[in-house]
A and B are shown apart, each in its own frame.
Chain A
Amino acid sequence: MRDLLELSVSAAASGCIYALVALAYLLMIRPTGVINFAVGEWAMVGAFGGFLLLSKYEWPYALGMAAVLGFMLLVGWITERIAVRPLVERGAPLLAAILALLGMLVVFREGISLGFGPDPHQVPEPVSFEYLKLFVIGATLVVFAAVWLFFERTLWGKAFEAVALNRRAAALMGIDLRRVTVASFAGGAAAAGLAGLLVAPNTSAHYLMGVPLAIQGFTALVIGGVGRVEGALLGGLLVAFAEQLTVRYAPLPSGYAQGVPLLLLMLFLLVRPTGLLRARA
């Protein structure tokens, strides 16, 4: 029983990391239709930001965290300006932006590996290690609650959602589509960067940490559905529980357990491609 409880807390904590990455995808997909696989590298940038400010310069955690999140907003903003907007303004198809962002993925990864080298770097935990998982869960819930309130209760949240529902109708309301796009990238980068910062005390900051997070987050997104913010959270938790229950109880070598999310991904794409939670129609 105690074993199962510990397992649940641990799965919930890694589920929250996946959920934040899924949220990053979702914030950008909803208004723009662009799937940005560079979210994993953004998480890595967030982790290295944590290393730099918290380990190297020993800033207090709250201040360092705020600075990393602020920096990530800037990273998302700049990424949109150089890799997405020029294409959108020339009328390029969505795929062009997705490919340009894959290029940015390489730029981020190689940039970090040049600057910090290939070795992992320690990132301190915000609270003592035994409470780390609870901190991760709490921080994620706060973020999801805030994002949910933004979309459900504020006019600008509705405006973002309006862009997701119908870009042309949204433009006719006087919504500035360029501003919504750049804001969704900034928000996505902040969510991804937070995921990186929160996972880093466990995994260390490493220049190759991005792709696995991008895949787990994407799986979570597909499972939960892109229609609702809650879907990202639900999807993240399901992926993590499936993973950890397999590792713990299934008679499989642990390497195989990493395939479980991918199996889930395939299953959902075949059986329920809209994900568990549908957008309200």
Chain B
Amino acid sequence: MLRLSEVHASYGAATVLHGVSIEMGAGETVALLGPNGAGKSTLLAAVTGTIRSRSGSIVFDGAEIVRAPAHRIVQAGVRLVPEGRLVFSPFSVEDNLRLGALRLEGELSERFDYVYRLFPRLAERKKQPAGTLSGGEQQMLAIGRALMSRPRLLLLDEPFLGLAPLVVHQIRSALEKLRASGLTLLIVEQKLDIALAFASRAYVLIKGAVVLHDTTADLVRRANLADLYLSLAPRG
């Protein structure tokens, strides 16, 4: 469903990704791990077309999208829930969701029902400005907004960052429902325990390159899991 081969990406003169290759099949849940500054968010930016300088090959559903503008990639069925949520705070919950559906081909009311069923809290607050929601509710809105265009691949950038344990649990069970419904998920996560329990395979990214790729079942059996990144860091 998604195949990255030798993807390079840079911000100005600073190259962040040095030839990353990743592959995922339809319906899979894959985790992207790595320390701060490893290039995880940059990789998501490259897939969604929101970083200017990117090269290599990114094939989604058989179509090359590495040069496609961001709105075409959304149209193709790829959605990102960005780190920091980036909801439009002056707009109501409902308007945020409506903007999420700009590239929807299909019935809008069906999508509203779907998202409100997944996150009943959003239905209770649909007239409220997004900026007045709690952090957890904003995360629900960010995920719901991405689901409005009925994506086939959902990218999540640290969806649990800074949330209370109870909210983490709520969002996690929503994501499990999405996984069970067959949606393909790529999740960036710093916390190994959540990521390894949730995904079936994982890629570890360090300094802009994939240093390890394994099933999560095998990863959790590694002896040096506690300092995984340290043990994988390139020497010198």
Contacts and interface: CB of A to CB of B under 8 A. Distances in A.
B134 to A, nearest CB: 17
Contacts of B100: 173
Contact of B95 (A158, A175, A178): A158
For chain A, what secondary structure do more than half of its interface residues adopt (helix, strand, loop), or is it mixed? helix
Contacts of A174: 70-71, 74-75, 102-103, 149
B40 interface: no
Given A165-B90, A166-B88, A176-B71, A171 B50 contact: yes
Contacts of B114: none
A235 to B, nearest CB: 21
Nearest to B76: A174
Contacts of A172: 48, 50, 70, 74, 79-80, 82, 86, 146
Nearest to B48: A172
B52 interface: yes
Contact of A155 (B80, B89, B98): B98
A78 interface: no
Contacts, number: 71
Contacts of A281: 89-90, 131
A168 interface: yes
Contacts of A169: 82, 86-88
Q: Which bracket fits the contact residues of B?
A: 20 to 34
A211 interface: no
A155 B69 CA distance: 21
Given A91-B52, A168-B50, A168-B82, A176 B69 contact: yes
Nearest to A166: B86
B68 to A, nearest CB: 12
Contacts of A162: 88, 91, 99
B145 interface: yes
B61 to A, nearest CB: 16
Contact of A159 (B52, B70, B90, B99): B99
Interface of A: 91, 155, 158-159, 161-162, 165-166, 168-169, 171-178, 279-281
29 contacts: A91-B12, A91-B53, A155-B98, A158-B95, A165-B88, A165-B89, A166-B88, A168-B86, A169-B87, A169-B88, A171-B71, A172-B48, A172-B74, A172-B79, A172-B82, A172-B146, A173-B74, A173-B102, A173-B103, A174-B70, A174-B74, A175-B71, A175-B102, A176-B71, A177-B70, A177-B71, A279-B90, A280-B129, A281-B131
Interface of B: 12, 48-50, 52-53, 69-71, 74-75, 79-80, 82, 86-91, 95, 98-100, 102-103, 129, 131, 145-146, 149
